Each structure stands twice: as C-alpha cells, then as structure tokens.
A and B are shown apart, each in its own frame.
Chain A
Amino acid sequence: MSKQYAFYFDSSACSGCKACQVACKDKHGLRVGLLWRRVYEVTGGNWRRSGEAWISSVFAYNVSLACNHCEQPICAEVCPARAITKRADGIVLIDPDRCIGCRYCSWACPYGAPQYDAEAGHMTKCTFCAEDVDVGLPPSCVAACPLRALDFGDRAELEARYGAGDAIYPLPEVHLTEPALVMTPHQDAARAVTESARIGNQEEVDGT
C-alpha cells in the first residue's frame, strides 16, 4: 500500500490555544486574511429550567483544521490549470506559477483549505510543511501544540494507533473527498448533531 501522510487531531485534548494556527502563520509568513490552519470553536446546548433552578447543558469543543491532503482531492480534480497535484506520499500542493487564480478550488473544498492570496493573485494552502517533513522534521503546527493534540504520520499507522473515527461537526461526510485526517472526537461531539451546534468564531476562521 502506498504512503499517505495524514494529520491526527485529538479534539478531547485541544484547549483552543491556537498555537498551531499561529505557528503555521508565522512559519509561512501568511498575510492578514490567510489561515492555513484554523481552530474552529464549536458551541452548543442551552440552559433549561427545572423548578426553581436553571440547569446548564452548554458544551464547547475545538476543531483544529488545515488541508487534509485528501485521498480524493476535489481541489486537484476541478482545477482547470492542473496547478494542484498530489505527491506520491499523499501531500497535496499548489504550484503558484501554474495557478490562474480562478478560486474554483476554494468553491469545491469542503474544508476551506485553498485560500486566495489577493495580493499575489493565486491560491495558497497548507503544504504539510513538506520541506520539513522531507528531512524528518514535523509540520510546524504539530511541533507547536503544547497539549500534544496534533500528530502526523502515515494514515494507516495513525489509524492503527488512534483508531479511525467518523467525521464530527462541523466537518462534512468523509466520502466526499476521503480526507487524510484521523481524529479523536471530543466527548460532546455527538451532541453537536442533535443540539444545534454552531461555529462560535466564524469571522475569525473566515479571515474577515
């Protein structure tokens, strides 16, 4: 079986400190508005009255998300300029010299990974820090996480180590693109589906 690099994210361990987001932004010198790794703050639940008392059932958890270097990368499939390619080790990269800046990949990707750099006139996205990974170093987001909530490696090995779970809110169903993402869900992730959860920091993750 060929290698497929993947990220591992432990939602039950993430405190939402965003060290991963900042480390990525810093390493790649991303402009304002570009966030190759984003931490989605999911909130849900409510307060309910029980006699004289108000009982809280609110919940919150974080999802740290970058490009998932999908096994079926829809961005590469739809890109008219063949500017997006998948390496033999599974890493999906954008060639800025080939990109025409049509933004079609950003319409298609359900993870918000390809992002448009208006100043440069082309799309950008997480590179899995391929130049570091190639010399045996971890991606900057993984290295920066103080809670060890992020890891990386071969997808099959990560699944063997952490188990292969289903997608949790707000992520889409995995059959759409077969993301190379292994997750340990937060204990309240199942409630997000039934208790009208929402993303609490939408403006931040949208880069607006």
Chain B
Amino acid sequence: MKERSLVAFTLLSQMAVGAFWVLGALHVWATRRAGMAAAGALTDKALLAIGPVMILGMLFSFFHLGTPTNAWRAFANLRSSWLSREVLFAVLFTGLSGLLAGLRWFRVGTFAARNLIAWAAALLGLALICSMANAYRLRTVPAWNTWATPVSFFVTTFLLGGLTVGGMLAGNPGVPPGLWRLSLQWIALGAILLLGVELVIVPLWVVGLMAGRGAAVRAAAKITQEHRAIFWLRLALAVAGVAVAGLTLSPWGEGAQTGIATALAFGLVLASEVLGRLLFFEARVRHGV
C-alpha cells in the first residue's frame, strides 16, 4: 500500500470542499429558518476548520515531492496538465475559504461581499475536485480512466464533507437545540443517499474492469483477490455507516444520541473512504510494461 500521502491529500481536500458546500447550504437554510445569529452559531466555528484541513492536505502532498523546493513550478503547465490545474485550484480554494472564515468570524465586510467570496470559493472547490478527478483519468491507466473516478470523487466529497460538518456540530453545544438536531438529521439523510450511490458504483466499477482486458483485468484482480479483505471491509464499513446514520432519523435518536450517532457514522465512513482510496491507488495498473 503506497501513496499514503496522496490518500491523505485527496481525502482531506475532498472533505474540505464538501464541508464548505454543506456549511453554505446549512447557513442559507438556517438563516431562513432562525435568522442570521442562529445560522452563524451553527456554521461559523466549523468554517474556521476548512482552511487548516486544506493546508494539512497540501502539506502531505508537498512532502511527497522529491524536490519540494521546486513545488512552486507545479503551476507551470496549466495548458495541458490537470495536475497543474488541481494545484492552482487547491491554493485558490484554500485562500478564499480561509478569507471567508476570517471575515465571518471578525464580522468584517458587507453581506454582499462575503456572499460573493463564498460563491467564488464554492465554485473553485468544485473546479478542484473536477481537476483532481481528471488528473487521475490517465488514458494509460484503465482502472482510473472511467466514469467512476469523477463520480466517486464527487460522492466522497459531499459524503465526507457532510459527515465532517455533522461530526463538528455534534460537539458544538452553542447551537439552538431544534436547529442542531434537524441539521444533523439532514446531514444523515444526505449521507445515507450518497452511501447508497457509492454501494452501487463501487461494484459497477469493479465489474466493468473485470469485463475489460489486459491492465483492466489485472487491476480488478488486485482489488478483488490481492486485497479482497480490504475491499469487503470497505463495503461493510459503508453499510455500517448507513445503519448508524439512520439512527439519527429514528425515535431513538433524540437528544445526545443524535450527536453520538452522527460522530460514529463519520468515523465509520471515514475509515471506509480511507480503505477505498487505498484500493483506488492499488488499481494503478498501466497499459504496457
């Protein structure tokens, strides 16, 4: 299992972009429902964490380079390299999301200005995930050059992002109780739907590889034979995540239990996504030699 630093970078940046979008949606929803102050109590603290998560991810990426002092050159090939574009969008998203968190925290700037920065950061985040997916869609690596790469990257983005926000809210007692529980339930519902999508696309991806030839079949064998235990554990953790997230929607999930179930679902899904990403990198079997 190599490429652990890239597992960390891709998952942390997807988590950050997804969390940013979920926080934005929660903020709009809570403002309409309970006013600006309550919405701020719900999202402002969590927003502060986006920048550090991105910076942590980029540090992993930075230190996997052979010559980190040349890292600034990574922007040099925007014309044809999706990796260059990915780096550019990662830096811009980190900068703008950090700026927004600062403006919101210190109550600086007009609502319109903050709104504009929020939209720009959100779109840059999507551009980051798009570039990341395309960076892996190398035409010489059949297991990566499929529809499943962008689809699974976006599913992970919103799945991990939502549950990360849920996990942070679970430990935030400063939010009005009604708003707090309803927010966690919306997050759980979204997570259940996305996990359902994931439980369909992962097997479809593997079956598609098995039906291919050469490098595609060898990649499928690595996933389903060489790393069979990890593959099944990854799916089992996702199913467990669905079940635990479902508890927040049940009558059992009232009061503190809602927070506990959300935090537990986050842990299960994070573990599942880490294993899934490790398998993704293991599937890097090239055409040719």
Contact = CB atoms under 8 A, between A and B. Distances in A.
Interface of A: 40, 65, 74, 77-83, 98-104, 107-112, 116-118, 120-123, 170-173, 176-177, 199, 205
A77 B140 contact: no
A164 to B, nearest CB: 19
A102 B66 contact: yes
Given A100-B66, A107-B138, A108-B140, A80 B75 contact: yes
- If over half of B's interface residues share one DSSP class (helix, strand or loop), that class is named, otherwise mixed; here it is loop
Interface string B55-71: 00000000011111011
Contacts of B83: 78, 80, 102, 104
Contacts of A65: 289
Nearest to B140: A110
A170 B70 contact: no
B82 A176 contact: no
B81 A80 contact: yes
A80 B287 contact: no
B65 A102 contact: yes
B84 interface: yes
Contact of A81 (B70, B80, B140, B286): B70
A55 B229 CA distance: 41
Interface string B125-165: 00000000001001111000000000000000000000000
B141 A81 contact: no
B247 interface: no
B87 interface: yes
B77 A110 contact: no
Nearest to A96: B67
A170 B138 contact: no
B73 interface: yes
A152 B285 CA distance: 30
A78 B139 CA distance: 11
B288 interface: yes
Given A78-B80, A121-B65, A176-B139, 9 more contacts: A77-B81, A78-B83, A78-B138, A79-B77, A101-B67, A102-B65, A102-B66, A117-B66, A171-B288
Nearest to B284: A107
Contacts of A102: 64-66, 74, 83
